[in-house]
A and B are shown apart, each in its own frame.
Chain A
Amino acid sequence: MIESILLVDDESLFHLVFEDACSLLDISLTLECVNSADEAANMFRRLYETGDRKPECVFVDLNIIGSSFDGIELVRKINFEYGNHVVIGMISSSNEIDEQKKAQLAGAQFWIVKSDEIEPRLEEFKKDYSNYKNRSAKFKVYN
């Protein structure tokens, strides 16, 4: 089970869906949700500076309304600026190959396509999680 998850998504309703789905599938022990990329970046900057415990896994939406940068830029910042070794990936309703390539270059390890039925994808992700954690898994799209 993943110790802690951070979800970065502007859609508050999806926070509830994701939280319940993760809980029902026994994916995570704790889950925190933030609405903007800026908030998430600030959180990681603070954790980086204080050395506090970081979320074990981060799910980032592609287009985060009300943020000064998009999800891919946030992935890049978390991976390259704050030097974290967290499992990080995208969760978006978009399924564009170009965006997926950009995310992969920014350091995203997976891409989950958001839909009405998110549970089967999360279940599949849960099976692959250990490989993401030890960095042996290749970039994968769950759709």
Chain B
Amino acid sequence: MIADKKTRDILLNIKKDRGVYLEGNLLKLIKAEANDEEFEEYLQECIGRDKAVRVKRLDITKQVQKQNSTLIKNQEEITRINEELKTSLKLTEKTKCEAETAKETALNDLDLLQKKTQTELIGTIVKVALIVIVSVGVVSTGMYGLAIWKSKDTQIIGSAWSNMLSILLTNAFSIIGTIMGVKYATPDKTKNRRSR
């Protein structure tokens, strides 16, 4: 499309007076007359300016687009890492729970072992004490019986036998009482741990 003289003059005057140039796709349609070098020069200047603006805008837009892509990628990476962290946290909690359960089981086993050893020790003490008591009782009863059988004086040995027997019985009950006391007075560690 060739611009007529009136349009051409208006456009050139706007450039001179206001420094405003024609721009956009209109420049692809408007042509200058064959001999009109001034308008042809004006159109080329407009095209050059328009191209320069577009090149600059294209560069900026591409930069923004690139930054946007990087931001999106970073966001995706952050989301991925967050997910991984959540999974790791869950795994850690699960492992912690398992470790606590294992610790509790081990402590229970240890308690059980201690109680077993304690019971065995108590059993041994009771056995030895009873053997000693029974032995002393049998020996003193034997001696007392022998004195009676031989028709000897049993006044001293009789009173000694009855005293010894009462002492032995008292000691026997005392031992049993002490053992029972130790057994039932020991604090229950399992209960304490559970309440913790």
Residues of chain B within 8 A (CB-CB) of A11 are 65
Q: Does B49 contact A (CB under 8 A)?
A: no
User: In the complex, how many residue pairs between chain A and chain B have their CB atoms under 8 Å apart?
Assistant: 35
Asked whether B29 is an interface residue with its Cβ less than 8 Å from the other chain, the reply is: yes
- Does A17 count as interface, using CB distance less than 8 angstroms? yes
Interface majority SS (helix, strand, loop, mixed), chain A: helix
Q: How far is the CB of A32 from chain B (nearest CB, A)?
A: 12
Contact with B along A70-81 (1 / 0, CB 8 A): 000000000000
For window 20-57 of B, CB contacts with A under 8 Å fall at 25, 28-29, 50-51, 54-55, 57
Q: Are A30 and B62 in contact (CB under 8 A)?
A: no
Query: Do B57 and A13 have beta carbons less than 8 Å apart?
Result: no
Query: Hey, which chain A residues are within 8 Å of B28, CB to CB?
Result: 1, 26, 29
Contact yes or no, A16 B55, CB < 8 A: no
Does A131 make an interface contact (CB < 8 A)?
A: no
Query: How many of chain A's residues have a CB under 8 angstroms from any CB in B?
Result: 14
Q: With A29-B28, A116-B66 given, is the CB distance from A13 to B51 under 8 Å?
A: no
Query: Which of B25, B29, B51, B58 sits near A17, CB closer than 8 Å?
Result: B58
Q: Are A30 and B57 in contact (CB under 8 A)?
A: no
* A24 engages B57 (CB within 8 Å): no
For chain B residues 64-87, which have a beta carbon within 8 Å of chain A? 64-66, 68
Number of interface residues of B (CB under 8 A): 15
**Interface membership of chain A positions 1-31, coded 1 if the CB is closer than 8 angstroms to chain B and 0 otherwise:** 1000000000101101100110110100110
Smallest CB–CB gap between B169 and chain A, Å?
Answer: 97
Considering the chains assembled together, what is the distance between the CA atoms of A11 and B29 in angstroms?
A: 29
* Docked complex Cα distance between A116 and B61 (Å): 10
Q: Are B65 and A14 touching (Cβ within 8 A)? A: yes
On whether the beta carbons of B25 and A20 are closer than 8 Å, the reply is: no
Question: Could you tell me if A13 and B54 are in contact, using CB atoms closer than 8 angstroms?
Answer: no
Q: Are the C-beta atoms of B62 and A17 separated by less than 8 Å? A: yes
Prevailing SS type, chain B contact patch? helix
A21 CA to B54 CA in the complex, in Å?
8
How many whole Å from B54's CB to the nearest CB in chain A? 5
Q: A21 contacts which chain B residues (CB < 8 A)?
A: 58
Residues of B within 8 A of A17 (CB): 58, 61-62, 65
A13 interface neighbour in B25, B29, B55, B68, Cβ under 8 Å? B68
Residue of B nearest to A118 (CB): B62
Q: Which of A1, A20, A26, A29 contacts B58 (CB 8 A)?
A: A20
**B58 partner residues in chain A, CB cutoff 8 A:** 16-17, 20-21, 24
- A142 → B minimal CB distance (Å): 18
**Contacting residues, chain B, for A24 (C-beta < 8 A):** 51, 54-55, 58
| B residues near A26, Cβ cutoff 8 Å | 28
- Within 8 Å by CB of B57, from A1, A16, A116, lies A16
Given contacts A17-B61, A29-B28, 4 further A-B contacts (CB under 8 A): A16-B58, A16-B61, A17-B62, A20-B55
The 4 A-B pairs at the shortest CB distance, nearest first, are namely A20-B58, A16-B61, A20-B54, A13-B65
